[in-house]
């Protein structure tokens, strides 16, 4: 990771993946576990550290993730929803952290460049920087430390930060990322199969890459 930026990444990887049938983040994608593909895509992101918040299958995820130089954090309340993982991740950050970029472990195509754009927006004064794709806000989202108390007070259930962003548009800076990232996520086995087919199509010999 580059030199100190004051920004940490919080990768949410604690869910059960019930729609997938379990084991989602450990399922193979492009020859490795899905969560590994996500972590690999974040190499070079301008963050001081990456914290992976785990819950379900914590031991297996720790074993897979820690070789990537990340810190894993177990969320004992993961069953209460995504909001508990966001809160746990923020509470684990040190006093020198100025902002946190929150990402989802089942979005392997987001990558370092999207994070870099959010960090640049933060350095330009954004309190909440949200990646957009075709004008629609998705992930990742960066939160400056100044908004953490408000965010933590409003987090609830499995909504994550979506409700917070809707309620506080005055804090939000939208950052277009559709040219450098793809927010496609994996909820089901069919989703993962579609992503695998897309990846295969992009690298197949004789195939032209689409713009």
The three-state secondary structure class of 206 is: coil
Per-residue pLDDT of the chain (211 residues; tens, 9 = 90+): 455 899 999 999 998 888 898 899 999 999 999 999 999 999 999 999 999 999 989 999 999 999 999 999 999 999 999 999 999 999 999 999 999 999 999 999 999 999 999 999 999 999 999 999 999 999 999 999 999 999 999 998 888 788 999 999 999 999 999 999 999 999 999 999 999 998 777 644 443 333 2
Domain count, the chain: 1
210 belongs to a structural domain: no
168 belongs to a structural domain: yes
The whole-angstrom separation of Cα 74 and Cα 59 is 9
pTM for this entry: 0.92
2 belongs to a structural domain: no
Q: Which domain holds residue 87?
A: 7-203
CATH number, position 83: 3.90.550.10
- Exposed/middle/buried for 99, CB within 10 Å: 0-12, 13-18, 19+? buried
134 belongs to a structural domain: yes
């Amino acid at each position: 990771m580059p030199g100190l930026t004051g920004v940490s990444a919080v990768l949410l990887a604690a869910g059960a993946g019930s729609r997938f049938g379990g084991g989602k983040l450990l399922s193979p994608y492009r020859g490795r576990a899905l969560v590994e593909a996500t972590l690999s895509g974040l190499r070079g992101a301008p963050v001081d550290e990456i914290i992976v918040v785990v819950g379900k299958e914590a031991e297996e995820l720790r074993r897979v993730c820690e070789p990537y130089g990340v810190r894993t954090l177990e969320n004992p309340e993961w069953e209460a929803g995504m909001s508990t993982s966001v809160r746990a991740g923020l509470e684990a950050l040190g006093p020198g952290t100025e902002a946190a970029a929150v990402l989802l472990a089942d979005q392997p195509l987001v990558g370092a460049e999207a994070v870099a754009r959010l960090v640049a927006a933060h350095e330009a004064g954004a309190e909440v920087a949200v990646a957009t794709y075709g004008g629609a806000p998705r992930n990742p989202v960066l939160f400056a430390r100044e908004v953490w108390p408000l965010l933590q007070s409003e987090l609830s259930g499995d909504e994550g930060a979506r409700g917070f962003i809707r309620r506080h548009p005055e804090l939000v800076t939208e950052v277009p990322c559709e040219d450098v990232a793809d927010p496609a996520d994996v909820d089901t086995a069919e989703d993962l199969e579609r992503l695998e087919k897309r990846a295969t199509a992009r690298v197949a010999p004789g195939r032209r890459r689409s713009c």
